[in-house]
Amino acid sequence: MVTLVGRLFGLLLGITVLLTGIGLLGSLLGLRATLAHFPGWQLGLVMSGYFVGFLIGGFVCPVLIRRVGPIRTFAALAAITASAALAHGLAVNPWSWLALRLVTGTAMVGLYLVTESWLNVSLPRTYRVRVFSLYVMLSLAAMAAGQLLFAVVPATGTTLFLVAGMLISVALVPVTATRLEQPPAVSTPQLPPWYVVRRAPFAISATLLAGMATGAFWGLGAAFATRLDFSATDVGAFVACAISGGVLAQWPLGRLSDRVGRRPVLIAAAAVGAAIALLMAASIAGPVWLVFVWGFGLGAMILSLYALAVAHMNDLLEPGEVLSATQTLLLTSGLGNALGPLIAGAMFDVAGSRGFPYYEAAVLALLATYGVLRSFQREVPSPEEQSADFVPMVRTSQVGLEIAEDPLDHYEP
C-alpha cells in the first residue's frame, strides 16, 4: 500500500495543490462579492456558474480527452483554470465573474476526469477503493487548507487571486512529469434517466437535494460569514471548519449506514443538519465560536449526504446497472449544485444573513420528510442485503463513481 501511494505521489500531490487553489478561489469570490455589495441574487448567479460549467464539462471534456490525450488535456485545462483565476482579479464585476466561473467549472471536470482515470488504471483491484478513499479525503483537506491562506495574505487587492492562480499552475508540474501509464478513454454506458428514477426515487431525490445543499455551501458559505462581519481570517476559518466536519463525519456515518441501512442514516443526517442550520440562524448575533460549532456540524451533515445517496442507489440497482446509472446521478447532482446558490442567494435578499441557514434548513428538512414518507411506501434492502460497504465520496467525475462502485475497469481498449 505504501509503495503504491509512493508511485502515485506526483498525481496526488498535483491534484491536492490544484484543489488548494480552487478552494481558496471559491471562498475569495464569495468574500469579495459580498464586500462589493453584490445583490444576493447576483451573487448566487455568479456562484451557480461554476456548477453549470460542471454540467457542460461532463459532455465536452471526455471528447477532448479522446482527441488530444490526457496529459495534453490536463495541461491545457489547468492553464485555462489558472488564467481564469488570475482574470477574476482584473475587475470585480458579476458578469465577467459569471463567465469565468462557467469556464472554471467546465475545465475542472476535465481535470478530475484525467486524475481519476489515472487512478483507476493504475490501481490494483485490491487497493482501488482504499486509495480512492484517501484521494477523497485529500481533496477535502486541500479545499480546507486553501481557506487558511486568508490568515497570511490580505484578502483585499489582487494578491490572493495571484496566489490561487499560482497554485493551480504549479499543480501542472508533478502531474505532467508523472511516469504513470496514460489512461485510455472513458466509456460509460447510460441507462435511461426515467429507469433510474423509477428504480431508486429516493436516492435520486436525495442526490438532487444534497446537491442543492452542498452547492449553496460551496458557493455562499464564505459570503454568509462575510455578511456576519467576520474578518477575512475568520471567514476562511469558518469554511475550513465546515469542510473539516465533512472530512471527519463521512466514515462514521458511512459505517453506521453499513450497519443500520442507508435510508435511516440519510434521514437522520438531513434532520440533524436542518436542526443545526436553525440553531446557526438563531446564533448569528452571538459569539463567533458558536457559529463555528454549528458550521462544523452543518458541514459534517451536508458533505456526507451525496456519498450516502450514491450508496443507497447502488443497493437498489442490479450490479450490472450501477455504472450505467452514473450519468443520471451526476446530472441530478449537478442540477442541484446549480440551483442551490441561485435560491440561497435570493434568500439573502429576503432574510438577510439568516437566509443562508434558513435555506439549508428548508432543503434538509424536505429531504428528511420525503425520506420518512418513502419509508412507509417501500422497503429497502436490509444491511445484510446491501450491495457493498460505504465509500467516502465527493462529486467529481463519472470515473470517480466507477472506482467507488465497481472495482473492475470500464474503459475502451
Choice among 40-54, 160-174, 367-381, 383-397 with the minimum mean pLDDT:
383-397
Q: Does some domain include residue 412?
A: no
Q: Does some domain include residue 39?
A: yes
CB 337 within 8 A of CB 215: yes
Q: Does some domain include residue 187?
A: no
Q: Does some domain include residue 32?
A: yes
Q: How far is CA 44 from CA 34, 108, 202, 234, 406, in A?
A: 11, 20, 27, 22, 36
pLDDT digits (tens, 9 = 90+) for 101-140: 999 999 998 888 888 777 777 666 666 667 777 888 888 9
More confident residue, 168 or 189: 168
Highest mean pLDDT out of 146-155, 172-181, 380-389: 146-155
DSSP element (H, E) containing 57:
helix 40-68
Q: What is the pLDDT of residue 383?
A: 62
Phi, psi of 31 (to 5 degrees): -65, -50
**What is the pLDDT averaged over residues 69-93?**
91
Q: What is the pLDDT of residue 44?
A: 95
**Residue-level length of the chain:** 413
Give residue 263's domain range. 2-177+192-405
Map 288-315 to HEC letters: HHHHHHHHHHHHHHHHHHHHHHHHHHHH
Q: Which residue's C-alpha cell is 490572493?
A: 160
- Counted domains in the chain: 1
Q: What is the pLDDT of residue 277?
A: 97
The rounded percent of the chain whose pLDDT value lies above 90 is: 51
List all residues 6 or more positions away from 126 whose beta carbon is below 8 Å from its beta carbon: none
- DSSP string covering 316-368: HS-GGGTGGGHHHHHHHHHHHHHHHHHHHHHHHHHHGGGHHHHHHHHHHHHHH
Q: What is the pLDDT of residue 51?
A: 93
Q: Does some domain include residue 8?
A: yes
Q: What is the pLDDT of residue 190?
A: 64
The rounded percent of the chain whose pLDDT value lies above 70 is: 82
**What is the pLDDT averaged over residues 311-321?**
71
Cα separation, 201 vs 198, whole angstroms: 6
Q: In the structure grid, which three cell numbers stand for residue 306, read together?
A: 451525496
What is the CATH classification number for the domain harbouring 393?
A: 1.20.1250.20
Q: Give me the chain's average pLDDT, please.
A: 85
Whole-model pTM: value is 0.88
Q: Does some domain include residue 183?
A: no
User: Taking the chain, what is the end-to-end CA distance rounded to the nearest angstrom?
Assistant: 27
Q: Does some domain include residue 184?
A: no
pLDDT digits (tens, 9 = 90+) for 333-348: 889 999 999 999 999 9
Query: What proportions of the chain, in percent to the nearest 5, are helix, strand and coil?
Result: 80, 0, 20
More confident residue, 283 or 399: 283
List all residues 6 or more positions away from 354 whose beta carbon is below 8 Å from its beta carbon: 281, 284
Q: Does some domain include residue 216?
A: yes
